[in-house]
Structure 1
């Protein structure tokens, strides 16, 4: 028996890491016209971005249904002491609410805790990965929950967008709309605060935007874990991760923005997620 960890596909956790730590990932749905795809199951990241650039209508997303979570919870509860389900900011997606509804529908007797991280992508992913490690070493369900919730305030994310048009089309831009504009080569950077996008900076070139990401890590304090996330520019992500290694004393996890978030991030997005020690 063990404590099981569940998340959703907006966590962008690389498949190999999810398998390594026994994390169950529930897919978000992506719609192109009248066709629906399960994130990373029915459509790969590369297929998604190719279609995003050429499909005549902007795709949409929808959260997993409560029944999707019920099926996962029932399956896991057969050999679990408890389930901790950790998700994207409730202000950005209905996924958290679906998980809450599912929790109330499951009557197996296995305790289920649903957590809103107020984050997304590997900001969420780093919390989930650390949660899996905590769960593996702690047999106390409530203590594990407390430790996982403490990770939320220690998690930070900064995102460079090549353009904000995809975020605006998806209706997720929030206060980040202050950075909307068509000034040539201006690269907007957004962060998350209490589950909402906030403008963080503007850079006059791609190179300067990446320098801002590096400075973000420099100023973060003592880093427990770190991830570089990209949508279409793997080379940039690898170069930034290599640059960060001497600063952090460890290799950054490189992750790709999947279809669920790629609808809103678009091509050229690059981000840094950091989990600090305090």
Structure 2
């Protein structure tokens, strides 16, 4: 069918692959870079392969945004078949994906590509993508969907429990002494997305289960303010922890859907294995 609105995101949206296929969501992959090799997230390399390569080399990859030409190549087929495009990017505070998509949109026929800064990452983006998908299905216009997204970005709540400081340390995000002390004291940092950036929210000392309980408790304090359409639990090699959160959220929130998704290579390269995240949206003010 031509003449529809096609929703695009990038590979950091961490939505289940079956949803991406079912809802015909366009995905533009970011890159993970090992030395001279640039690999497309989820296309040329999987999260399991990423961790094996880090273990083998002792080095973390760098990450890179899609280029404007990558976006043009991704968007052009949809435009040629008559679709209008809404692309929802990873936060502009974390990547140049947003800026590069703006450049690409300027090279394509005027008015055909709308670019929205999610101000989020991982399945926090995914929540916004699904809002856009359902709005488009219900017949909303491009302008209406973009307005909805811009109003909704600050309603997303996004927290991660990081199991190890090693990846944050290797990525230059904490000092060696912090890494040593954190390991000795078994400190579990919790990362929250605030104003489009990753911010240490708090630290929990002890077992990971304690940090998961704290993250769950924080979410349940907002249960009356939750948009109960969808809650997403995302993980990187931590399926049992994700299932624990899913079960508790299903029992205590009344949400229509609580799904589990897996983190892609870009998110995993920054947070490391055994990371578990919880994302939901608050009701509109």
Per the alignment, residue 223 of structure 1 pairs with: 227
Q: Deviations over 1:198-217 (max 9, x none)?
A: 22111112111000121122
Counterpart pick for 1:214 among 213, 216, 235: 216
Counterpart pick for 2:258 among 227, 252, 259: 252
How far apart are residue 222 of structure 1 and its match? 2.5
TM-score by length of 2: 0.90
Contact 1:33 1:57 in 2 (8 A): no
- Alignment CA distance shift 1:41-1:203 (3 Å): same
How far apart are residue 236 of structure 1 and its match? 1.0
Q: Deviations over 1:165-223 (max 9, x none)?
A: 4234435x5xx88x945232110111111111222111112111000121122022223
How far apart are residue 139 of structure 1 and its match? 4.1
Counterpart pick for 1:277 among 268, 273, 283: 283
- Whether 1:237 aligns to 2:239 is no
Per the alignment, residue 7 of structure 1 pairs with: 9
Aligned pairs, number:
273
The range that moved more, 153-162 or 222-231, is 222-231
Contact 2:59 2:170 in 1 (8 A): no
Give matches, 1:1-278, under 5 Å: 1-106=3-108, 108-170=109-171, 173=173, 180-181=178-179, 182-183=181-182, 184-204=185-205, 205-220=207-222, 221-224=225-228, 225-250=230-255, 251-278=257-284
TM-score by length of 1: 0.92
Q: d(CA) in 1 for partners of 2:178 and 2:66?
A: 30
Q: d(CA) in 2 for partners of 1:210 and 1:27?
A: 30
How far apart are residue 80 of structure 1 and its match? 3.8
Contact 2:226 2:280 in 1 (8 A): no
- Structure 1 SS opposite 2:202: strand
Q: Deviations over 1:206-254 (max 9, x none)?
A: 1110001211220222233211111111111112111110122234211
Gaps of 5+ in 1: none
- Structure 1 SS opposite 2:101: helix
Q: d(CA) in 1 for partners of 2:261 and 2:50?
A: 16
Q: d(CA) in 2 for partners of 1:232 and 1:132?
A: 28
Q: d(CA) in 1 for partners of 2:178 and 2:279?
A: 23
Q: d(CA) in 2 for partners of 1:230 and 1:36?
A: 24
Q: d(CA) in 2 for partners of 1:130 and 1:154?
A: 12
Contact 1:83 1:110 in 2 (8 A): no
- Structure 2 SS opposite 1:75: helix
How far apart are residue 154 of structure 1 and its match? 1.4
